[in-house]
Amino acid sequence: MALTDTAIRAAKPAEKPVKLFDEKGLYLELSPAGGKWWRLKYRFGGKEKRISLGTYPDVGLKQARERRDEARKLLADGIDPGEHRKAQKAAGEERAANSFEVVAREWYAKMAATWVPSHGEKIIRRLERDIFPWLGRKPVGDIGSPELLATIRKIEDRGRLETAHRALQNCSQVFRYAIATGRAERDPAADLRGALPPVRETHFAAITDPKEVAGLLRAIDGFTGTFIVKAALQLSPLVFVRPGELRRARWESIDLDAGEWRYFVTKTASDHLVPLSTQAVAILRELQPLTGRNQWVFPGMRDHQKPMSEAAINAALRRMGYDTKAEMTGHGFRAMARTILHEELGFDPAVIEHQLAHQVPDALGTAYNRTKFIKERRQMMQRWADYLDKLKAGADVIEMPTKGAA
């Protein structure tokens, strides 16, 4: 007789397993501990076999019969239900192992050692926030261009167009890694070129008029904030590196006796050398007794194990009365140097661009070289520091190009 829900609920366990049979090979097995398992007995290839169809009451009588019927359909098609289930499980595990998030984190782990920590942190946060929630569980080889674009559009719709471009670039890197490791056949991001509007180029606010520069330098000398931030402000115009590179400067990278600062530029993936003027060395020597035992030249105010906050320089400029959106930013010291070094001091733009660590190929197609124009760059950095001193002192500076300048 067929089973009923009443009979199942009334069934009691015994010292040995008890089997309550339904129809067409389906039965419920009661264990001595009280567990109730649905099982299907069938024959395949001349052998008697069994498969589990779930536990009662999670799987009720009606659902157990539906699962039985599905298994019998497989048998009618010459497929062993047990082997079919193993194949499905293996395929599911393989798909999970090859999900976009798994592959992306594997790619990130391999690449992170080649990036500065802050760069790597931004990439993984971007993926975790904007990509994984929608694509993370999907097999990397199954993701198509429309699906990827829909995810990237969510970032664009928040008004973060530049982040959308960066996220698309990171996804492309993950897909290319998946191709290289045999888990995908193509990069769907490649089909999305031109799908996003271009990012409008924005220029950082910068003071480039020598008279206004003089006022800024005097304001920096009169800054009443912390000694560490003041030193960073004083050094900013002398070295005109990217703000992130300045705040992450390490003492181990600086040779005060040689007057050199060497570090790796993440943005251009190249080593960089900054010749230090005597004025820059003097600032660093004065700072060294305070922070020299720390790895960071400019450690954070609250946590000395981290570098100075990325907002510290701009906050100091605002405290001095400068509008960081319209007048001057920490990044603006680069534009200041580039403009005045060429227009006022007459230095060769190629020398300036190399000191800015820009990737500007020359006639032979070679990109930035940290030692190229090094003699001219040393002379330029010292003349630049001397020029700034004269501006700050209020001298009527008229510079003429000399050897090393254009």
| Average pLDDT of the chain, as a whole number | 89
CA-CA-CA-CA dihedral for 169, 174, 179, 183, to nearest 10: -150
Predicted local confidence at residue 201, as pLDDT: 56
Burial of 365 (0-12, 13-18, 19+ CB in 10 A): exposed
Structure tokens, 92: 């599911």
Structure tokens, 53: 């169809």
125: annotated active-site residue: no
Does residue 264 sit in helix, strand or coil? strand
Determine phi and psi for 307, rounding to 5 degrees: -75, 170
Whether the per-residue pLDDT at 40 is higher than 80: the answer is yes
Of 125, 89, 119, nearest in space to 104 by CA: 125
Q: Is residue 265 within 8 Å of 367, Cβ to Cβ?
A: no
Q: Is the peptide bond before 139 cis (omega within 30 degrees of 0)?
A: no
Burial of 208 (0-12, 13-18, 19+ CB in 10 A): middle
Which one of 368, 377, 378, 387 is the catalytic residue? 368
331: annotated active-site residue: yes
* Averaged pLDDT, 55-81: 91
Chain segment 227-264, per-residue pLDDT in tens: 999 999 999 999 999 999 999 999 999 999 999 999 98
Q: Is residue 164 within 8 Å of 126, Cβ to Cβ?
A: no
Of 257, 269, 258, 281, nearest in space to 370 by CA: 269
Chain segment 91-141, per-residue pLDDT in tens: 677 777 889 999 999 999 988 887 767 788 889 999 999 999 999 999 999
Per-residue burial over 251-285, b = 16 or more CB atoms within 10 Å of its CB, e = otherwise: bebbeeeebbbebebbeeeeebbbbbbebbbebbe
* Higher per-residue confidence, 332 vs 364: 332
Predicted local confidence at residue 366, as pLDDT: 46
Q: Which long-range contacts (CB under 8 A, 24 or more apart) does 104-110 make?
A: 104/131, 104/132, 104/136, 104/174, 106/177, 107/173, 107/174, 107/177, 107/178, 110/177
Which one of 119, 158, 267, 375 is the catalytic residue? 267
First to last CA, the chain: 103
Whether the per-residue pLDDT at 371 is higher than 80: the answer is no
Strand partners, 30: 18, 36
Q: Count other Cβ atoms within 10 Å, centred on residue 338.
A: 20
Strand partners, 52: 39
Tell me how far CA of residue 119 lies from CA of 174, 259, 321, 325, in angstroms: 16, 28, 31, 24
Band (pLDDT 50/70/90 cuts) for residue 172 is very high
Whether the per-residue pLDDT at 404 is higher than 60: the answer is no
* Averaged pLDDT, 61-76: 92
Band (pLDDT 50/70/90 cuts) for residue 364 is very low
d(CA 258, CA 77): 81
Which one of 272, 334, 338, 383 is the catalytic residue? 334
d(CA 385, CA 381): 6
Of 103, 121, 102, nearest in space to 112 by CA: 121
Sorted by where each starts, the structural domains of the chain and their CATH numbers stand as 5-95 (3.30.160.390), 100-192 (1.10.150.130), 210-393 (1.10.443.10)
Which one of 95, 105, 318, 358 is the catalytic residue? 358
pTM: 0.54
387: annotated active-site residue: no
Which one of 36, 67, 248, 331 is the catalytic residue? 331
86: annotated active-site residue: no
Of 169, 167, 172, nearest in space to 184 by CA: 172
* Averaged pLDDT, 309-323: 92
Q: Are strands 260-265 and 270-275 parallel, antiparallel or unpaired?
A: antiparallel
368: annotated active-site residue: yes
Predicted local confidence at residue 266, as pLDDT: 74
Band (pLDDT 50/70/90 cuts) for residue 403 is very low
Q: Is residue 99 within 8 Å of 138, Cβ to Cβ?
A: yes
Predicted local confidence at residue 265, as pLDDT: 81
